[in-house]
Structures are given as C-alpha cells and as structure tokens.
Amino acid sequence: MSAPGAVLPHRPFPGGGTGLASQLVLAVICAGYATGAALGWGSPEVADVMGDFGLSAAAMTASVSCFLYARGGAGEGESRFRPAWLLFSFSSAMAASGNGVWGWYQVVLEHEVPSPSMADLFFLLFAPPAIVGLLVLAKRPITRAGWVCLGLDSWLIGGSLLTLSWSLALAHTAHFDGESVARTALTLAYPLLDIVLVSMVLALHFRRSSANRSAINTAIAALALTVLCDALYTSPLLREHYRSGQLLDAGWFAASLLLAYAPWGARRFAPGRPFVPPPPVRRPGALPAGRPIAGSLGALTPYLAAAVCTLGILYNVIEGRRVDRVVVFTGCTVVLALVLRQGIMLVDNIALTHELAQKENHFRSLVQGSSDVIMIAAPTGILRYVSPAAAGVYGRDAEDLVGSELASLIHPEDLGRVVHEVRRFLAAPPMDEPAGRIECRFRSGTGEWLNVESTINRHQGGLILNSRDVTERVRLQAQLQHNAEHDPLTDLPNRALFTERVRQALSGRRASDPGTAVLFIDLDGFKQVNDTIGHQAGDELLIQAARRLQDSVRAGDTAARLGGDEFAALILGDGSRDRAARQRQVCEIADRLRLTLSQPYQIDGNEVRVAASIGVAFAERDVSARELMRNADLAMYRAKSGGKNRVEMYAPQMQAEVVRKTELAARLRTALHEGEFALLHQPVVNLTTGRVAAVAAQARWRSAQGILFTPAEFLRVADDSERTAELGRWLLEEAVEQAAERGRAGHATPVAVRLPARRLLDKSMPLGSVEALLTRHGLPSGALVIELSDSDPRISFDELERRLVGLRRLGVRIALDGFGSGYAAINALRRLPIDVLKLDRGLVEGVVESARLHKITSGLLRIACDLGMQSVADGVDVPEQVLALRAMGCTHGQGMAFSGPLDEYRLRRALVRGTFPVPGGAALPVLSGRALPSVRVNHSNSETPVPPT
C-alpha cells in the first residue's frame, strides 16, 4: 500500500479575462508615463505638469479607489480590513495634495518651492496612515508574547535599517552646516519615516493575513515601490539633480496606480459576490497559528537584523570614522531587543513544549485505554504501531503485530476489496474525503476470523486505522437477514426469498431454460386438524411436512413455505431441450411429492392424515417471476376444485377463467344496486295430491349483457362475504314482500328461503330484523320457511339453537336443507328445532338407478317420519323418481317433474290452477307426518300445466 500523489486541477476564477485586461491597461499606462519621463516629455513645461499634477492625479485615483472599496466593495470576509483601505485612501490623498501644492508653486506661480512648505507637511502625513494601515492588515497575534515579539521584530528591522542608513548617508545629512533646525529635521524625517514604512512592509510580509492575499500583496508592493522612490529621492546623489518630470516620477506614478488597482483588479472572486476566505490547511506537525514564529523566514528576522546592524558599525570602522553615538545607541537597542525577543521565544517554547507534552500524554492515555485497536501502517503496508487493545480484540500482543504486513492479517477473500478501497481513498483529495471506512475479516490469535470495522485516515503517506470488533453485530445482522427471509416455524425460505430465487432462476444463463418449474402445494384437510386436535398439533404437522418437502427436492432446488398450509418448490431446469420429457419428469417429481406429503403423520401419539394438491407451472419466454408463481397458484386451485389430492398442470385457459370470474364478480358488486337481480319461485308439490304446498324462492341474475346466471354460477364468484350477506338480505326481504303481496291477492302460499346457517349468526342480520320484516309486511305465522343450507363445523350449535328457537317463536318454520350430504346432519337433528327435512339432490338423482342410494334414502325418510317431520325431495325431475319417493314415504317434492322456477306472472297462474298432475294416479298410502299448510285455490281442469322456465 502506498499513497499515490494527487494533482489537483487548477480552476480559473470568474472574471479572469477582465482581470487580465485591466492589468494590461495598467501596464500600458505606466509604460507610457515612464517613456515620456525618460524622453523629458518634449519640453520642460510639460515635464513639470506631468511630474507634479500627473503624480497628483495618480495619487488621487488611488485615494478614490481605496475609499470606494472600503465603503461598499469589500465583501463580508474583508469587513475587518476596511479601516486599512480607508487609511490607504487618506495616505494617497496626502500624497496627491503634496504633489498638487508642489505643482502650484512650480507650474502656476513659476517659483521655487520653499523649504519647508505645505507640500512637505502633506508628504510627511503620507507615511503614518500607511504604517497604521499595514498594521491593520497584519495577522494579529493571539497572545501578549506575540504582540511584544511583533513590536520587537519591527524595531529590529527599523533599528537595523536606521543603523545602516545613518552610517551611509544620514550622518552626513544631519551635519549640514548653516542650515536651520527645521530644514535639518525635515531632511531627516523623510528617510526615518521611510525606514519605519520599510520595517512594516518587511514585518507584514511574514505576518500578512490569508484573506484576499493577492490584494494585500499588491498593496504592499505599491507601498514598497513608493518607499524605494523616496529612498532614491532622499539620497544625496540624486536629490541635488532632481527635477519634476524625470524618470523617478514614473516609480511614484506606477506605485499610485498599483495601489488603486490592488483592491479591485487583484481579487480572486467575481465582482458583486461576497468574498469567502478559503479555510486554512493544517498539515501534520504544523504549529498552530498565532505563535511568535510564523515560518522559517520569520525565524531568521532577528539574526538578519543583527547582521545589518553589524554591517553598519563595520562600515564606520573600515572607513576609519569615529563611531557615531546614534549608531552605538541604535545598535545597543537592537541587541537588547534581540535578547528580549530570544528570551520571550525561549519561555514561549518551554510553555509550548510543556503543552505539547501534556497533549501527547493525554492522547497517549486515550490510545492506550481505548477499546478500539489503533494501528499505524507505513506506505509499504508494514505496521509501525499497534495499541495495547489488540490483546483484547485480536487475542494477540501488540508487540507481535508490529513489523508484520497488514495484508497478512486480512482474509484472502477480502484482501482485493480492501486494497481497492484503500487505493481509492488515498487517490481522493483530502478535502473531499478526509476519512474512509472499510470492513473485512481479521485473523485473531486463535486462528479465528473476526469481522472488523476500521476507520482509516492518512498519515505521512501511510494509514492510521481505528479498528473495532463487530463480529457480534455482523452475526446479528445475518440472523436478522435470515429471519426476514425465512419462515419462523419451519425455517424454510418465505415468500419474499422464494420470489427472489424464482427471479434469479429466470434471469442470467437459465433465462432460456424451459425446464424450470414452480410447484404450489396446499395441504388438504389441514384446517380440520387445527379444529379437531389443536393449533399446536397443526404446527407440528407443518414442521414435519416442511421437513419432508426439504428432503424431497434436490440440493440446487428451493423449498419454501408461503404461509398457512401453502408450500412451494422451485425445480431448476437441467438444460434439456426435450420439453415433453422434462414436463413428464417434473410431473413425476410432483406426484412423488404428493404421495410423500400424504403419508400419515405421527403427532403426540396420534396418526394424522392430510392430502396434498399441487399445481405445476413451467417457465416460458417473457414470463416474469410473479406471473410464473401466479400460474402455479392457479393450477393448484384447479387441483383443489377438481377433487383435491392431485397434481394439475397450468394451462392458459385457467387464466382466462380467472379473468372471467373477476369480471363477473366485479359486475356482481353493482348488480344489486342496479336492480339486475330477479326473484323466481319453484312450486313444492304434494306427491300424493299434486297440490302446491309451498314455493321455494330462488334468485336469478340477468346481467347487462342479457346473460341469466343461476345461483350456482354467480354465488361461486361471490367470494366477498359482505356482498354475499347483502344478497342474502335482499333475497329474504324480496321473498317476504312478494309473499305478502300474493297473500293479499288471495294466494296465501308459504315461501321457503334458503339461507346459510352462518348468516343466521351474523351480526348483520340480528334476531329483531326478521320480526320487523314479518311485521312490516303483515306475513302470517307459518308463511315463512327458512332452509339451513350448510353444515359448517365451526358454527356453534348452542348459538344456532338459540337463534332458531327465537325464529320459531315468530312463527318461522325451519327446514334442514341437503339432508344426507353433511356429516353434521345427525347432530343437527339431535340439537336443532327442525320442522322439515329436505333430501339432498344427490340422493334423489340416484334413487332409481342405485339400490344402495335407494336404501339410504328410505332409511332417512323413515327417520324423518319417526321424528314427526315433513320431508321434501329436491331435484325430482322424472316421474320414476316421484313414484319411488312416494313409495318410500316422501310427502313433498320439488323439481322439473312438476315445474321449473317461475316468474311472478306464471307463478300466480299456477297457484290459480292449484295442482300439478302426479304420476301413478290415485293416492298411495303414506307414512304419517305433519303436512305443510295447504292452500285453498280455485282451479280449472281444462288449464294446461305451466312449462318450466
């Protein structure tokens, strides 16, 4: 592992083209002025104007520029520098005024400039505000020692320059004979102020602020150029020959324009946008900002100052001059300042060393006591430091790990990924990605692989790793993931994981394999196991069934539990192109699986049997995982509806049938509100006399398409319990209302309404609703017969008995429908208040052809007779059935042998006639029993029977 070098792209700042253009214009103007000054401007008069008023105009431009920038151009990040630019504006204004006064005397009045004059005052006022402005721009120390060292550094520079300048020129200037004190002071003031200004420029160079550094550097350069020109002007070699308009003026002119340009043209951000200073970049090992030493050059400042001071003294000695008292005094103060500064630096360094030692001890204690393992790896990948926590986390001493390769501790399967992540992290810019995170397996002292999460940081080209053991967290996450994808009872994959496995099987290289199949499995009879021996036994049965299913599939296949008693299996294709052979093979697997799941289960010492209905669907081109599972589900439901305990292959017409049922169910939901249901009645005939003893109400649905659906057709799709209950309420209300209307018309015939037993216990039809219905329509007692149509074992017989007793108090008679088909019929006869037994259609259909059914039917009718109950045979369609049933003692019949369901008009015609022809002529002896109430009707023998509809 090594840290590759990163090259950051250079981004051009906005407005870069405009800045370059302004720099070119500035250079052209300065070069033009310098050319004119070098050529003498063509005449002495023009030279005087350009040398005086030209410099005044340039200085005034700098003053206005700095003032405008300080008032409104500085951004939020430069607000603390506004006083500096205001001071530079005042300083430039003083220079402009001095040059203006100089030009007034020399150009306008054509006199020599007096000495001293107002021009000298303005020129002297140039340096102090500039010096203070430089102090404002300087980076402010944060300690008292820093302020003291800043003052000492300034004096070291200024004193050294003063010593050198005094030795070279100022001593000679100060001894001019015959000159006044004012003129001598004025002569010395210029170089002394320049020395102070130079000292501040040099001090600021090492302590300038990082905010808008380009503008500050430009301003420093302008002031430095001004000081340089002042130094040349005050030099005895040039001052005697100086005249306005010469080349020296070009320096002052360029310095003024450069100061005017500094706050605007040298900015690194687009005009109009606030300036946001870049954050300082701290490098490892760098001293904190604000300390007395700001860099290597700053550290050399006292020694350079002492060297300059020594040169000044040596010059006097070499020239054989007497050492001037000013030089001695200045040199002593410089030495004293140097000693003081070094003492302060020593004390500050001792405090800094103590502080660093405390921090080192603090962080060392944190590292030593941390539960995380902290490791430092060299660029070569060799571990240079390992914290003592390694003994507790890795089970290995830290000393044993130091010097080993980091790669040797990482699991080989994770090494490639870790190397890739580390290289990517080291290649990223530190500002964009200061830290990274990797997770891998580390070898422990016992040879076990631990899951370790590490935070990585850069360190001298290598890495610092802060690692912690997350093995328990990884195990918990794996367990949670397993729980989210597996059934908690059987530990088989659940629906979500099974769907994902099917999706994977239909993609990739297996996408074109037609041998892949999905099996949906439902355990027939599982609900009876829960209801009879309990849910705990049912759970045990599911566990055993899941184990059998898991053992029956191949290693690459998937067995899953989808929920309840539904299972599934994914059988992967073997790449065979013989589709028919593959289908036969999968069907054989499914059949063997059916036989395996149908074997007896031993649960708590009991032998429990269930069957399995299996639906099989094969993968097709462009069939998704969801569609394939839906096809297998449809095939499984076809297997259950076809008799259960069988295997059914998916066929496209199954989906078409589902679509038809869905559409039919959707239309059924609105059929009641749209008035599409009609009520028909089928006569119940006395098998001896042929009289109409009652009518059975039956609902028919005539859809908007003109299709007439029978109850067997539309109730099969009405799986919405709420809709079925609504249909039952409508049937009861409509039957009672029409029966009352027929009674008022003189046809008081009882009406039988078929209702499921579970509906009688439903809260949607309370006991009082039937009473209110009979009272509202004035239906007499005995005119309503309720036929119980199911034998659901989950129904409480106690509640049903109480419900039926309450209905009988209202005069409602109770019939047991489908007698002979349900296993709960005998229990119902024993517990419930039954008035009429209605034979199941299945018994009636085979009563003539089957001797066995003949004996069963005869026995059931004898039971009804012995209990004193009325008997009604449903589905009497041929005369032979009438004769056989009447011979066995059945009193009433209902079927096509007499009439089919009739609408209201035809029903009333039949009731007017009153009787139907009975096969066999005269009445035969019948077993005693209560008869349904007969109806007094007027009839005509000449009227023909009403054909069935």
pLDDT per residue as tens digits for the range 208-264: 555 667 787 788 788 778 877 876 776 655 556 677 777 888 888 998 998 888 888
CA 869, 871, 877 angle in degrees (round to 5)? 175
Query: What's the pLDDT at 569?
Result: 95
Its pTM stands at 0.49
Asked if pLDDT for residue 158 goes beyond 80, the answer is: no
Asked if pLDDT for residue 643 goes beyond 90, the answer is: no
Asked if pLDDT for residue 940 goes beyond 80, the answer is: no
Nearest CA-CA partner of 598 in 703, 523, 532: 523
Asked if pLDDT for residue 323 goes beyond 70, the answer is: no
Q: How many CB atoms lie within 10 A of CB 750?
A: 22
Query: What's the pLDDT at 108?
Result: 86
Residue 570 pLDDT grade (very low, low, confident, very high; cuts 50, 70, 90): very high
Mean pLDDT, residues 589-595? 92
Query: What's the pLDDT at 178?
Result: 46
Asked if pLDDT for residue 505 goes beyond 80, the answer is: yes
Query: What's the pLDDT at 871?
Result: 92
Query: What's the pLDDT at 224?
Result: 76
Query: What's the pLDDT at 485?
Result: 92
Bigger pLDDT: 47 vs 178: 47
pLDDT in tens, 867-891: 888 999 999 999 999 999 999 999 9
Q: By three-state DSSP, how is residue 839 classified?
A: strand
Sign of CA dihedral 184, 186, 190, 196: positive
Q: Which residues pair with 606 in a beta bridge?
A: 603
Residue 287 pLDDT grade (very low, low, confident, very high; cuts 50, 70, 90): very low
CA 260, 263, 269 angle in degrees (round to 5)? 140
In the numeric block, the tokens 């506004």 are attached to 82
pLDDT in tens, 397-427: 888 889 889 888 899 999 999 999 888 888 8
Asked if pLDDT for residue 509 goes beyond 80, the answer is: no
300-304, 345-349, 835-839: range with lowest mean pLDDT: 300-304
In this prediction, what percent of the chain has a pLDDT beyond 90?
23
Query: What's the pLDDT at 740?
Result: 92
Sign of CA dihedral 124, 130, 132, 138: negative
Mean pLDDT, residues 605-621? 90
83-87, 151-155, 688-692, 709-713: range with lowest mean pLDDT: 709-713
Q: What is the dihedral of CA 257, 260, 263, 268, to 10 degrees?
A: -30
Query: What's the pLDDT at 395?
Result: 85
Residue 760 to residue 106: CA distance in whole angstroms: 127
CA 16, 21, 26 angle in degrees (round to 5)? 125
Nearest CA-CA partner of 153 in 214, 205, 217: 205
Residue 291 pLDDT grade (very low, low, confident, very high; cuts 50, 70, 90): very low
Beta strands 462-469 and 517-524: pairing type?
unpaired
Cβ-defined contacts of 803-806 (< 8 Å, 24+):
803/760, 803/761, 803/767, 804/760, 804/832, 804/833, 805/833, 806/767
In contact, 808 and 834? CB cutoff 8 Å: no
Asked if pLDDT for residue 540 goes beyond 60, the answer is: yes
Beta strands 449-459 and 436-443: pairing type?
antiparallel
Mean pLDDT, residues 711-730? 65
18-27, 675-684, 886-895: range with lowest mean pLDDT: 18-27
Strands (E), 91-235: none
Mean pLDDT, residues 528-551? 91
DSSP state of 922: S
Residue 598 pLDDT grade (very low, low, confident, very high; cuts 50, 70, 90): very high
Asked if pLDDT for residue 274 goes beyond 50, the answer is: no
